[in-house]
Amino acid sequence: MTFTPRSPLRIAAVIVALALPVTAQENTGPSTNVAWTINTLNLLRSGDPERGAKLNTKLECATCHGDTGLSTNETWPSLSGQPAGYLFKVLKDYQDNKLSGTDRGQLMAFIVEEMTDQDMVDLASYFAANPLPPAQPVTKQDAAETLDLLGDPKRLIPPCSVCHGKNAKGDFPDFPALAGQSPDYLKRSLNNFRAGERGNDVYSRMRLIARRLTDEEINSIAAYFAAKGTVLAQE
């Protein structure tokens, strides 16, 4: 199957994929096939941002995720400023059907089906080179701030910031940035982790945390990290 940019066939395929009923696949193998070996790290270093910029248009990532990886719509996540390792891992997980527990995961699995590893690292290095999304309006979120900085030892929840980085900028190799991300997406991700529909976190690290969070905390976390973003993250 070959696609030309914005061909009617491709657009029809995306619509069909979106309309498919969710058939949660039983995930039997490991959570992810990506391992941070020397070979993977060398592959990641070989990423070419210029080719990535071209692929962003050619493969129509830009249609939903924006020209520079800055999503124009609350419903799709922004990719701009994410650590390259995270972007590569997630693309690989989509391709390996590790994220097919949700309808969006299945849509992405369909889109990345024919991508090569080199395409993935090129795209990853392009989005990683762009700045984090701008901060959304700040509201005081006490519950989320406590979880971000101190966690909750009684519930075995480590602080968000120890893995996701100071001001949620993300961290090497595959800890995603949360700063400035769409609150809809953050909320959806946490709920998917909690329900086990998203399970590409090795040793269930995020699933265990998400199961111990209350609905109020999830809402608070989504608003809190959305309000970080470029301005705060560059401090």
Partner 1 sequence: MAFHIDKLEKRWIYMVAGIVVMAWGIQIYYAAQGWHPPSNVEVIDSAQLHLASGVGGDEFSEQNIGIKRDENGMLVVTMVAARYGFYPQEITLPQGEPFKMRIASFDVLHGIYIPLTNLNLMLVPGYVSEVTTTVNTLGDYPMLCHDFCGMGHAYMFGNVKIVPADEYKL
Q: Which residues bind partner 1 (CB under 8 A)?
A: 30-33, 35-37, 151, 153, 156, 158-159, 161-163, 202-205, 208
Contact criterion met (CB below 8 Å) for 90 and 199: no
Q: What is the spatial distance between Cα 81 and Cα 125, in angstroms, rounded to a whole number?
A: 10
Task: CB nearer to partner 1: give 9 or 35.
Answer: 35
Q: How far is the CB of 177 from partner 1 (least distance, A)?
A: 16
**By C-beta, is 16 or 41 nearer to partner 1?**
41
Given the complex with partner 1, which of 54 and 155 has the nearer CB atom?
Answer: 155
State which H helix or E strand residue 90 sits in: helix 84-95
Residue 29, amino acid: G
The nearest distance, CB 102 to partner 1, in angstroms, is 20
DSSP structure string for 12-65: HHHHHHHHSPP-PPP--S-S-S----HHHHHHHHT--HHHHHHHHHHTTHHHHH
Q: Which two tokens stand for residue 96?
A: 């390996």
At its nearest, how many Å lie between partner 1 and the CB of residue 37? 5
- Identify which of residues 33 and 139 has a Cβ nearer to partner 1 in the complex: 33
Minimum gap (Å) between residue 44 Cβ and partner 1: 13
DSSP one-letter code for 71: -
